[in-house]
Structure 1
Amino acid sequence: MSQHIQGTEVTISYNRPVARGRELFGSLVHYGRIWHPGADSVSTISFGKDVIVDGHRLAAGRYSLWAIPEEPPKPWTVIFNRGLGGWHTNYPGEAQDALRLSVTAETGPHMETLTYYFPVVDADSAVLRLQWGTVVVPMKIKVTQ
């Protein structure tokens, strides 16, 4: 899945787990533990140019995506990690982290399959949402000049 923001390509590669009536967060996905938001092989995001994600600089490149879900109202930790290979259960470790963000999860309509999407795209920025079940994790991506 790709989106262009001010001429910069942002690409997310991931597999989509399905809820299938299961309780997701706090049960299938444990609070307070590192989780791979996807299925099977590691989910990745790549940026064609340097970007600012929720106010924090991130160099152009490709990163694996990880998260630490928390019980509301505590914010989640979203992790952009330089380690790209491997299966979704093998977190490469903090030494490979390029960026850790504190993100407040929101509530939205039920999404049966885990999905990343861009509901808002402006001239130089876009909002990326990770959504599964009724949990929505938004991140603003701004392209630097």
Structure 2
Amino acid sequence: MKQRVLIGIGIGLLIIIAGLTYLRSATKKHSPAAIAEYHLSGADITVNYCQPYKKGRLVFGDETSGALQPYGKYWRVGANEATLFSTNKNLLINDQYLKAGKYSVYAYPGKDSWQIVFSSDFDRWGVTQPDPKDDVVKTNVLASNHAPLQEQFTVRFDTIDSANVNMVLHWDETEVTIPMTVQD
């Protein structure tokens, strides 16, 4: 009897694990994983994120307009898992200190400016908003709503000089630039 129960439990766990694995891979088909990297002057900055598509939808806008991501509401900056930001050097993010390490990045988009947040709570899945007590840096940056149309969400780094770089978030016709300075 005990053996049958253990076999049943084992089969049940196997089915659950297989289902979760399938769900995760099926989700990533619609918003594939991507990596943005910056390597210069000994600094290694990496952003691991997933890239949702516009698919004819209104991406950013007022909640009443049916926007995929309403202004003023939490957004995980991508899809699926939390967007992971890692750096081996201390940084100034728009003049705010960020210690070398791993963080999640999330945002509160607005029409003309966004609040960008770096949180020490980086091991999350889904749309759950992190606890504000884990926020390490909060900064406001300007948003451009006249960028060339970008169907798939992207993150890139634009090098300014050996110590300064911009992390750029681009989706639909919205582009947000986050200035960073590498500290020695």
Residue 140 of structure 1 and its aligned partner are, at CA, apart by: 1.2
| More RCO (CA 8 Å, sep 6+) | 1
Code of the residue aligned with 1:28 in structure 2: it is L
Which segments of 5 or more consecutive residues in structure 2 lack a partner in the other structure? Answer: 1-35, 62-66
Equivalent residue, structure 1, for 2:120: 82
Equivalent residue, structure 2, for 1:62: 102
Equivalent residue, structure 2, for 1:104: 142
Identity of aligned residues (%): 28
Q: Distance in 1 between matches of 2:160 and 2:102?
A: 21
**Would you identify which runs of 4 or more consecutive aligned residues in structure 1 move more than 6 Å?**
none
Q: Distance in 1 between matches of 2:171 and 2:126?
A: 17
Rg larger in 1 or in 2?
A: 2
Equivalent residue, structure 1, for 2:46: 11
Which segments of 5 or more consecutive residues in structure 1 lack a partner in the other structure? Answer: none
Code of the residue aligned with 1:5 in structure 2: it is L
Of 131, 138, 141, the match for 2:170: 131
Whichever structure has more helix as a proportion of its residues is 2
TM value normalised by structure 2: 0.75
Cα RMSD over matched residues? 1.1
1:92 counterpart = 2:130: yes
Residue 34 of structure 1 and its aligned partner are, at CA, apart by: 0.8
SS at match of 2:152: strand
Q: Distance in 2 between matches of 1:88 and 1:48?
A: 26
TM value normalised by structure 1: 0.94
Equivalent residue, structure 1, for 2:92: 52
Report the number of matched residues. Answer: 143
Equivalent residue, structure 2, for 1:35: 75
8 Å contact 2:38–2:46 — kept in the other structure?
Answer: yes
Residue 91 of structure 1 and its aligned partner are, at CA, apart by: 1.7
8 Å contact 1:37–1:65 — kept in the other structure?
Answer: yes
Q: Distance in 1 between matches of 2:129 and 2:103?
A: 12
Q: Distance in 1 between matches of 2:78 and 2:120?
A: 17
8 Å contact 2:37–2:47 — kept in the other structure?
Answer: yes
Q: Distance in 2 between matches of 1:55 and 1:13?
A: 23
8 Å contact 2:37–2:156 — kept in the other structure?
Answer: no
